[in-house]
Structure 1
């Protein structure tokens, strides 16, 4: 009987030490989790990038004559691979793009072209962004003058 009591005492003592170690590890993991939650919660109301630079670069080949083709690139310096850019050189009365073209993303550079039909031509771009973290935006219109 004494051997049984001694054996049970040893088992309980070793279990108690393991429980203590596990409790310390749990506390450590809770602190790490709380830190990660603070970071992810801070991102929920922000864009993944806080500033974006956008530039429309006309091609050097442009003659700027009526009826000629006008080429350029639309450059976003802060972008995501999932971003979508639509292009048109016409807006309707409700500020919607007329016959928009989806531009191909080449690391934030979106080549475009259209035919010059007037002395002063406007170009319009809509950026659609959908992030898995942070805020997303759907339809920021940017315009520029091509002449």
Structure 2
């Protein structure tokens, strides 16, 4: 895993996410959502390409990745299912507030845990695991900023 490329990729998407969130989309709200989903899919596919080669050879790293990735997927499903249920009941405002509350209550602890684990892994010099954790924290960041669910 080329760590310089991983760090540059994460920094690039941090900058893109902040620029995307601070734009004024006069009359282009529907395009705003599609652009956000496109950026989210670009981040996920790019980070998958970075992790594919190291995961292919290292069994411990593969286990580390799949445990953390399953937690992120479960958190995403916990966000999506109540939102879709309330959206079908034509309670879009309640669905938005519930989604915002659940995102903050799930994303913040997961990110804090990931950064604490990154510091712990850094003391043990386990750099591939640090790269995996940073890319998975980027999934949470990308879901929060690029989804366009909160009027960003």
- TM-score, structure 1 length as denominator? 0.26
Please tell me whether Structure 1 or Structure 2 has the larger radius of gyration of its CA atoms.
1
Q: Which has the higher helix share?
A: 2
